[in-house]
Amino acid sequence: MLNPVDLAAVWLTLKLAGTATAVLLLLGTPLAWWLARTRHWAKGVIGALVTLPLVLPPTVLGFYLLVLMGPDGIFGRLLAAGGLQPLPFTFAGLVVASVIYSMPFVVQPLQQAFEAIGEQPLEAAATLRANPWDTFFAVVLPLARPGFMTAGILGFAHTVGEFGVVLMIGGNIPDKTQVLSMAIYNHVEALEYEAAHRLAAGMLAFSFTVLLLLNALKPERLR
Amino acid sequence: MLRQLSLAVVLLTAASVHSDEINIAVAANFAAPMRKIAAEFEKDSGHTIVASFGSTGKFYAQIRAGAPFEVLLAADEETPVRLEKEGDGVAGSRFTYAVGRLVLWSRKEGFVDAKGAVLGRNDFQHLALPNPRLAPYGAAGIQTLQALGLLDRLRSKFVTAENINQTYQFVASGNAELGFVALSQVYREGRIAEGSGWIVPPKLHEPIRQDALLLTRGKSSSGSAALLNYLRGDKARSIIKSYGYEL
């Protein structure tokens, strides 16, 4: 039903979203924990920075990434100094962009989940001489599970739906940066509406299923 | 006296009635010359131009969906032909307003030589071009590589952009070392203004004929007709040529 190029785009999108979600959960968990527990003055600043991609047009982010990660940009030069390739037009570049872009969708549900736990369970764990790691894995993780589920699903879905940033820094290379949203866009632009429909309808069904799943995960249903 | 006065009144009302606002859709590669032509045209005619710049494929879809454009300056000739056939353009209004020239361009001085031999050397990572499925300049780039026998070797270095302006952005930001762009984007006052480039000989690709079309929505607007006439006039033609287009 799908041609090989479209199929490759679907596969690449899943790979990108999977990788980005894994990185997001790894980075987002300590960040959300810190934001949930700290009284540090920088909390507001860091919180605002994390939330920024929520309100910025993706093209702004994509444009700055293209400039900053390019050969003249600060990050481009740092990478070059470390003997690495510039990030635009690479899969790694898309992962970096996706992690920045989807960060608020992972950090916010985690932060809320951590805040909802409150002090009591942690104090109880401490009186039982649990060290912080034990506490985290035995108390926090199970209590915050719905938060992790929501964060993971939202991060994954948001990366699948990403378009503006990829358009700016992707370069539309099959198997490397040509993700699903780009493939749909190309079909529409080339007036291949039928092929566009096939992918777009799949995307619609996917998004709807994700939201349905999220509703099913709401805490009141768990009880 | 009375006669002169009434003539003046007639002329004045005529002028105010005919001061139209013209919505036009313009191919991205023609943005720079169009801004200049629009300024001249507004001065000479009293009409106002509201121009949208973008890819011709997107304009096609928008015009089919009823977008309020009165004139289309396309990047190709197929799209205007198609719109005319499908009833969204005024039959017989189509003409070629410019023939585009392709250039292989790098922002680095001396990187692209005058014969394009750089394509045969292997010292670049990325070759940017507009998506050949969407943009005539991209298709011309592919034809050029094919004519040079380099297409298969270079395909893995392609980064394709959504339109010609994004291609320019990829190369101008240095993320791609070189790329196929429209000569109009880098050509000022008879030469390539910055970096280095090889103006691709026209025999290496099909001519990039860019056609203008009066759209059905602009049928009754005198401003649209005036603009299309103006585009064929000497003033506009010399501006168009100064950006490296042929006519």
Using alpha carbons, select from B98, B47, B57 the residue that is nearest to residue B244: B98
- Same domain assignment for residues B43 and B83: yes
Domain A4-222 has CATH 1.10.3720.10: yes
Residue B247 lies in a domain: no
- Same domain assignment for residues B107 and B40: no
- Same domain assignment for residues B28 and B77: yes
- Same domain assignment for residues B187 and B108: yes
- Same domain assignment for residues B107 and B193: yes
- Same domain assignment for residues B50 and B172: no
Residue B5 lies in a domain: no
Domain that holds residue B184: 102-199
Res B4 pLDDT > 90: no
DSSP string, A14-44: HHHHHHHHHHHHHHHHHHHHHHHH---TTHH
- The CB density around residue A197, as the number of other CB atoms within 10 Å, is 13
d(CA B237, CA B247): 8
- Please write the tens of the pLDDT for every residue from B125-184: 999 999 998 889 999 999 999 999 999 999 999 999 988 889 999 999 999 999 999 999
Chain A hits for B175, Cβ within 8 Å = 66, 70-71, 86, 88-89
pLDDT of residue A222: 47
Phi, psi at A124, each rounded to 5° = -60, -45
Chain B hits for A190, Cβ within 8 Å = 57, 133-134
**Count of domains in chain B?**
2
Sequence letter at residue A37? R
Task: Count CA within 13 A, CB hemisphere, residue A222.
Answer: 13
Residue B8 lies in a domain: no
Residue B87 lies in a domain: yes
Q: How far is CA A93 from CA A10, A12, A112, A167, B117, in A?
A: 18, 14, 29, 12, 30
CATH code, domain with B159: 3.40.190.10
Smallest CA–CA distance, residue A32 to chain B, in Å, is: 34
CB B94 within 8 A of CB B81: yes
Subunit contact B131:A172, Cβ cutoff 8 A = yes
What burial letters (b/e) apply to B138-168, b meaning 16+ CB within 10 Å? Answer: bbbbbbbbeebeeeeebeebbbbbbbbbbbb
Task: Count CA within 13 A, CB hemisphere, residue A27.
Answer: 17
Using alpha carbons, select from B153, B127, B130, B128 the residue that is nearest to residue B140: B130
- Same domain assignment for residues B161 and B217: no
Residue B156 lies in a domain: yes
Subunit contact A172:B169, Cβ cutoff 8 A = no
- Note down pLDDT in tens along chain A; length 223 residues: 678 888 899 999 999 999 999 999 999 999 999 999 888 999 999 999 999 998 988 888 888 888 888 888 888 888 888 888 788 889 999 999 999 999 999 999 999 999 998 888 888 888 888 888 888 888 888 889 989 999 999 999 999 988 888 888 888 888 888 899 989 988 887 778 889 999 999 889 988 998 888 888 766 544 4
Predicted TM-score (pTM) of the model is 0.79
- Same domain assignment for residues B119 and B175: yes
Q: Quick one: what percent of chain B has pLDDT higher than 90?
A: 76
Residue B2 lies in a domain: no
Residue B219 lies in a domain: yes
User: How confident is the model over B218-246, as a mean pLDDT?
Assistant: 94
What burial letters (b/e) apply to A156-166, b meaning 16+ CB within 10 Å? Answer: bbbbbbbbbbb
Residue B3 lies in a domain: no
Question: Would you place residue B18 in the very low, low, confident or very high pLDDT band (cuts 50, 70, 90)?
Answer: low
User: How confident is the model over B190-198, as a mean pLDDT?
Assistant: 92
